Structure 1
Amino acid sequence: MSYRQRLSLLVFIDSFIVFTSIFFSRFLLSADFDVITLPLVVSSITLLVSHHVFSFVYKLYKKAWEHASIGELIFIVKATTYSLITVACVQQLIIHDIYFRLLAVTWMLHMILIGGSRFCWRIIRNTYIKKSVVKKRTLIVGAGSAGTMLVRQLFKNNDAEMFPVGFIDDNVKIHNLDILGIPVIGGIERIEQAVKELNIDNIIIAIPSLSKKELNHIFQECTKTNAKTQTLPKLEDLVSGKLSVNHFMDVQVEDLLGRDPIDLDIESISGYITNKVVLVTGAGGSIGSEICRQISKFTPQMLILLGHGENSIYSIEMELKDLYEAASIEFITEIADIQDVKKMISIMNKYHPDVVYHAAAHKHVPLMERNPEEAFKNNVIGTMNVAIAASQSAVDTFVMISTDKAVNPTSVMGATKRMAEMVIQDMDRNSSTKFVAVRFGNVLGSRGSVIPRFKQQIVKGGPVSVTHPDMIRYFMTIPEASRLVIQAGALARGGEIFVLDMGEPVKIVDLAKNLIKLSGNSLEEIGIEFTGMRPGEKLFEELLNSDEINEKQVYPKIYIGKTSELYMEEIKEMISNYTTLDKENLRSQLLNLANSQVISIPKKLISIV
């Protein structure tokens, strides 16, 4: 229906109501209804004109009445009241008398008939049209402002696929009450029972302010059912207007395993990054690229993206230039191999960076077991090359990314990273540059990590392959790990191994089950297959050796580990002779050296550990 047709229809309906109401009022108040008097004619014409005038003033003919609410009802009251006041004034001027009873009854009939004519479409639409469309029965977790707003949106939107049938909320004061006609069934523990009793298809978690721990608890209750579980957008996205309340999002594994964000010490970070020259090795990798994103927020003067893979470096360069086009940051790319010491020295001398983040490394455990010489060249010799070049260029702070696999290593990758830590700590003893390492566990979604592999297997229909039912790992999101790495750089005095608090360890098999559920499949459909532990793997990882533990946090979620003896002579000897060793002998020597545990605190650390 066009606007003109709609306007004509409403004007005709209102005109009919105006005449009908005033004549019907006269009929109710007087037996002489068949006598049409002058006061009645004057009042009728005045009422008709004034009603249309006030209807246009309050835009009653422009309202979308299928979405009408209290606000629209108030406008009807105003238009009706003012039109009757106008009639009273005209009666006083022309007839010198006001027919109060007639006007009062007419006002009530106006309210009933005009209000009813407007709201009847919404009633028909909600009661009959919506019921004719098959919709998914939906359980709303959270009966607060977000949950009630969501229900209103679902009721208003005829195209919505979901129909709310119940609330779940831990507030016992509202249990067994109705909110917007929807019953509040009970607390979180009632989710499984409610899904069965109400035949629920979908569950919407409508509490944007939930902590990660609380969300995980609710989701675990939801996984006991076959209903699909989704959430509302994050609170900051709702407040900023980036997303609306009816933009549902699938629960991500990062939402369940990640921790709540911590506040960074912006002042200390700005002090060593803002307007400075920063170089990141491995800038195209998962951690390196995220470090670049986080650093760019602090507007360095220049950010040098160094990496071996041209495609990944090009990708992060374009992304940063698009995001920070208005900022005065100079983004420089260098395609280089950290195993080339001359190139590393040349780059450092060319740009003279103030801060270096060394994220370049070989990290895939099974692959490095089969190629120990490559792990040694990249993770140990490459780290030494970058460190030497940084020292010669008088870099202020050098931060190396390490791993929990460096603790009591059973793999080549872990052993080489432990030796790289030794190299960094030795360089700190003999250089004005502050050399530190940051050690953390597995990163959610990083290249080569278990989660992308699980997702691929689920897409193919399974089974999901898990090496051992008892294998556990620490997990951290890429943004959180990168932020804490940058914060650790601000805390650096030189020689520390910073250890990030990884929270509670997670069973890999539980992680696989959650991913299967999140994908909308059942464990029976996908299945889990145990393949056995791979070479170099451990059932569990450690962030600190028993001799390294220093329980005091230097910053929320950041510890400083005590350090062990540095076997630099043995490392230098291995650098000279590793090409003469076969893979098995090289692997054996790497593990033996990395697992030596003679404890010694470097002089530079005595004052802080």
Structure 2
Amino acid sequence: MHFRFRNSRKKLIIFLDMFITAIVFLVLSYLVSFNNGGKEIGFVNILPHLILMFVCGRISHYMFNTYKSIWRYAECKEYMTLLLSGVMGYFMFLLIDDIVLGKQFPLLFSLAGYSTSILCMLMMRFAYQIYRKRNTQRGASSGLPLAIIGAGSAGVTLLDEIQADPNSGYRVCLFIDDSYEKIGKRIHNIEVKGPISDLPKLLAGTGVSELILALPSIDHEKKKEILELCATMKCHVRILPDRLSLIQNDHDKSLSNSIREIKVEDLLGREPVSLNDKQVEQFIRGKVVMVTGGGGSIGSELCRQIVGFHPSSLVIVDIYENNAYDIEQELRFLYGDKLNLSIEIASVRDEEKVNQLFQKYRPNIVFHAAAHKHVPLMENCPDEAIKNNIYGTYHVVLAADRYHTEKFVLISTDKAVNPTNIMGATKRFCEMIVQSMNRISKTEYVAVRFGNVLGSNGSVIPLFKRQIEKGGPLTITDKRIIRFFMTIPEAAQLVLQAGSIASSSEIFVLDMGQPVKILDLAEKLIRLSGYEPYTEIPIIETGLRPGEKLYEELLMRGEELISTSNKKIFIERQKELSPVELHDKLGVLQRALEVGSISALKRAMKLVIPTYHDPEEVNRKSVSLDYQDVILKENIKIENVG
């Protein structure tokens, strides 16, 4: 059906072109009189020449594919192609006409008629395009009023797509830009206003309820500044991705389909971690790499990035078969037989199984991401946290030493710093296990510490988005709480980079920028979704969860901080734990596990981790102090080293 319609439309255009040419020459034959052998030549006399002209023109148009163009979307290129096709057709006609029919058709007459015909064809197509565009704009006049921030090439292309689509549901009211060359002028009849800093004033009285940030080349700090300005108004804000994302999304060339909702990382205003690809590839290429917890949020992203650096084989170890299956299917789909991939369903708590896996694969590099990480759950089940996080890590660490692994990288967390919960305390103990191996093993051990990971399982941000979609309320444990944030790809990049530059017993810390107050984040997400916090979408305070503190830290107080070749990554030096001390601490934990009570386990953890304190004690102190100021000072400490 569609083919028949397209074919009929093509035949109609060909007929109209022939009709235009015939009318033009018919009119000219009556307007212009000339003699040929003393006789006046009328339209009938030139008909054979016109038929030849039609044939030559059809051949030329076929060669240039002009009848395959969709003229309602035509641009300068299509019109130039039609013009060039006409010129070629005319010269083809002159050559053949001279050979076949002889010089009976005056040159000036044919040139004038042919030129006028081509001009009329162009005008017909242009008139059709104008008609369709106006018809589309009339159909979209009842759409939601929209403003585009950015009157550059991306913004103009976006405008064209919206205006060309009668079903877009939007009506572009104005552009907003900082370029004084554009401010006050019009693009496709849409006024450009500015500067962007006057956004609230520029939108007053326009009725605009939707904003699209169409500045794909903008830097992160400027993007954050504009989005914070947008958050002061009741507008739904969306964004065009950066140019790299647009290029990677080459399966969909439409800008309008690339528009996405605001992500929290857009509000952080922090440059992403830069990865030294050559250094990491030298670290990974040709090696057997094992990732424990390889199906989790961080572990699976590590696997995705590792395979890009050509390991000889990748071994994914995970106790949860669904996650392991998902990442296996994804990698096999992308790499097929090019990737030597093994999946092992196993728990790091099983010492015998861990040793079997190391004996079987002899990994050169181990990334240890397997851990219980949910703070409230581990407060209720401290025995499981100790068995999985501490003893699981201990088993993998010893196996790495026993089977001569070159490098072992532990995934740690900012919750390990001055911990107030069992999960954080167990991760701090894991760091101590890693440090205790210095000087007694040929394996290089390193820990990598970072803050909250956006979009990971259990992260607060996906929860906020789901709550906004349902109309609220948003739930927040405490309105004073602040956190460091980073993206999952950044976390994986940090781990790889740190692993490539590390030597034994080091703890790596990322410069994560300024900490974020969760309440501010919640309010901005609500406003940028087009709602008003507390009135349209309530924010409810539910109270701190067990083991939760108001702020997290990245550094142990008073410890030495050393810069690295990457300006975003630093080394924290700490006092190493001797193997004898480690053995004694493990004995304390083992006895507490035998007792089995939660209180006994928490007391034991406080004995083996001197920096572990009750959250109530830490939160009381932070209320009496300006805890945000404390974190800012810690951050300045990192920046000064950088």
Distance in 2, Cα, partners of 1:41 & 1:87: 18
Q: Is the 8 A contact 1:409 1:595 kept in 2?
A: no
Contact 1:39 1:91 in 2 (8 A): no
* CA deviation vs aligned residue, 1:288-317 (integer Å, no higher than 9, x gap): 121122212222222222222222222222
CA contact (8 A) 1:468 1:533 kept: yes
Aligned partners of 2:61 and 2:85 also within 8 Å: yes
Say whether the 8 Å CA contact 1:349–1:393 is kept in structure 2: yes
| Deviation (angstroms), 1:558 | 1.0
Map residues 527-538 of structure 1 onto 2, 5 A cutoff: 527-538=538-549
Deviations 1:206-265 (A, max 9, x none): 222333333322222333333332223442343352332231222222443484444422
1:436 partner SS: strand
Superposed CA offset, 1:256-299 (max 9, x none):
34844444223332333222222222222211121122212222
2-structure distance, mates of 1:15, 1:327: 58
Q: Does 1:508 align with 2:518?
A: yes
CA separation in 1, counterparts of 2:45 and 2:71?
31
Letter in 1 for 2:130: I
The CA deviation string for residues 520-549 of structure 1, in whole angstroms up to 9 with x for no partner, is 544232211112222322211110022124
Q: Give the deviation of 1:420 after TM superposition.
A: 1.5
Which letter maps to 1:243? D
- Spell out, residue by residue over 1:132-157, the C-alpha distance to the aligned partner (whole angstroms, 9 max, x if none): 34433332222222222222333334
Superposition map of 1:252-263 within 5 A: 252-257=263-268, 259-263=270-274
Cα distance change of structure 1 residues 374 and 17 upon mapping to structure 2, 3 Å threshold? closer
Residue 210 of structure 2 contacts residue 235 of structure 2 at CA under 8 Å; is this kept in 1? yes
Distance in 2 of aligned mates of 1:161 and 1:338: 53
The one-letter amino acid paired with 1:222 is C
Matched letter for residue 165 of structure 1 = C
> Aligned partners of 2:355 and 2:98: how far apart in 1?
99
Contact kept, 8 Å, 2:588 with 2:608, in 1: the verdict is no
More displaced 10-residue stretch of structure 1: 585-594 or 42-51: 42-51
Q: 1:145 aligns with which of 117, 140, 153?
A: 153
Specify the code of the residue in structure 2 equivalent to 1:482: A
Amino acid of the residue matched to residue 348 of structure 2? I
The one-letter code matched in structure 2 to 1:122 is: Q
Name the CA distance, whole Å, in 2 between partners of 1:522 and 1:390: 54
Please give the residue correspondences for 1:379-398 in structure 2 after superposition, counting only pairs within 5 Å: 379-398=389-408
1:226 paired residue number = 234
Mapping of 1:380-419 within 5 angstroms? 380-419=390-429
Alignment of 1:267 with 2:278, yes or no, is yes
SS of the equivalent of 2:453 reads strand
Change (3 A) 1:537 1:104: same
Aligned to 1:38: 41
CA distance in structure 2 between the aligned counterparts of 1:109 and 1:81, rounded to whole angstroms? 12
- 8 Å Cα contact 2:475/2:540 also seen in 1: yes
How far apart are 1:79 and its partner, in Å? Answer: 5.7
Cα offsets for 1:462-511 (capped at 9, x unmatched): 21111222211001111110111011111121010111222221111122
- Which letter does structure 2 place at the counterpart of 1:175? I
Name the structure 2 match of 1:69: 75
1:184 corresponds in structure 2 to 192
Residue 586 of structure 1 is matched in structure 2 by 601
Aligned partner of 1:117 in structure 2 is 124
Q: Which amino acid aligns with 2:404?
A: A
Alpha-carbon distance in 1 for matches of 2:299, 2:89: 70
Structure 2 CA distance for aligned equivalents of residues 164 and 120 of structure 1: 23
Contact map agreement 1:15 1:48 (CA 8 A) in 2: no
Written as runs of structure 1 = structure 2, the 5 A alignment for 1:455-494 is 455-494=465-504
Q: 1:22 to 1:272 in 2, by over 3 A?
A: closer
Out of 340-349 and 259-268, give the one that drifted further. 259-268
1:582 alignment partner AA: S
Aligned partner of 2:430 among 411, 420, 444? 420
Residue of structure 2 in register with 1:576 after alignment: 590
Please show how residues 12-411 of structure 1 align to structure 2 within 5 Å: 12-25=15-28, 37-38=40-41, 41-43=44-46, 46-47=49-50, 49-51=52-54, 53-59=56-62, 60-78=66-84, 98=106, 100=108, 106=113, 109-110=116-117, 113-133=120-140, 134-240=142-248, 241-244=250-253, 245-247=255-257, 248-257=259-268, 259-329=270-340, 331-411=341-421
Query: What whole-Å deviation, never above 9, does each CA across 1:178-216 have from its counterpart, x for those lacking one?
Result: 223322211322433444443324322222233333332
Q: Work out the CA distance in 1 between the residues paired with 2:555 and 2:60.
A: 74
Matches of 2:354 and 2:247, distance apart in 1: 46
- Tell me the distance in 1 between the aligned counterparts of 2:23 and 2:488: 70
- Letter paired with 1:455: K
Once the two structures are overlaid, the 10-residue window that deviates more, 523-532 or 253-262, is 253-262
Residues 156 and 40 (structure 1), Cα distance of their counterparts in 2 relative to 1, 3 Å cut:
same
Contact 1:137–1:164 (CA under 8 A) maintained in structure 2:
yes
- Structure 2 unaligned blocks of 5 or more: 613-642
* d(CA) in 2 for partners of 1:460, 1:175: 39
C-alpha change, 1:97 and 1:512, in structure 2 (3 Å) is closer
Q: What is the CA–CA distance in structure 1 between the aligned matches of 2:233 and 2:544, rounded to whole Å?
A: 32
For the aligned residue pairs, the C-alpha RMSD in angstroms reads 3.2
Which amino acid in 2 is paired with 1:539?
L
Using a 3 Å threshold, how does the CA distance of structure 1 residues 68 and 294 change in structure 2: closer, same or farther?
A: closer
Q: Report the Cα distance in structure 2 between the residues aligned to 1:186 and 1:52, rounded to whole angstroms.
A: 55
Partner SS, residue 129 of structure 2: helix
Contact 2:29/2:42 (8 A) holds in 1: no
Pairs aligned (count): 593
Kept in 1: contact 2:216–2:242 (CA 8 A): yes
Q: What is the TM-score when the length of structure 1 is the normalising length? A: 0.87
- Matched residues in 1 for 2:7 and 2:333: separation? 47
Letter in 1 for 2:218: L
Please give the alpha-carbon distance, in whole angstroms, between the structure 2 residues aligned to 1:456 and 1:477: 19
Give the conservation status (yes or no) of the 8 Å contact 1:81–1:107. Answer: no
Q: Partner of 1:541: helix, strand, or coil?
A: coil
- On the 8 A contact 1:138/1:203 being kept in 2, the answer is yes
Percent sequence identity over aligned pairs: 38
Which amino acid is the alignment partner of residue 284 of structure 1?
G
1:430 partnered with 2:443: no
What 5-or-longer segments of structure 1 have no aligned partner?
598-609
SS in 2 for 1:225: coil
Deviation at 1:98, TM superposition (A): 4.6
- Matched with 1:605 is none
Change (3 A) 1:588 1:518: farther
Mean Cα displacement is larger for which, 399-408 or 144-153? 144-153
TM-score (norm 2): 0.83
Structure 1 residues 428 and 117, CA, compared in 2 at 3 Å: closer, same or farther? Answer: same
Relative to structure 1, is the Cα distance of residues 43 and 189 closer, same or farther in structure 2, using a 3 angstrom cutoff? Answer: farther
Cα offsets for 1:140-178 (capped at 9, x unmatched): 222222222222333334443334332222222221122
Farther-moved stretch of structure 1 (159-168 vs 306-315): 159-168
Q: SS where residue 275 of structure 2 aligns?
A: coil
Distance, in Å, in 2 between the alignment partners of 1:85 and 1:349 is: 79
Q: Residue 476 of structure 1 aligns to a residue in which SS?
A: strand
In structure 2, relative to structure 1, the CA distance for the partners of 1:122 and 1:538 (3 Å cut) is same
1:43 CA displacement: 4.5
Closer, same or farther: CA 350–94 of 1 in aligned 2, 3 Å: closer
- How far 1:387 moved relative to its partner? 1.1
Q: Is the 8 A contact 2:383 2:596 kept in 1?
A: no
Q: Shift of residue 82 of structure 1?
A: 6.5
Instruction: Measure the CA separation in 2 of the matches of 1:428 and 1:171.
Output: 58
* SS of equivalent to 1:561: strand
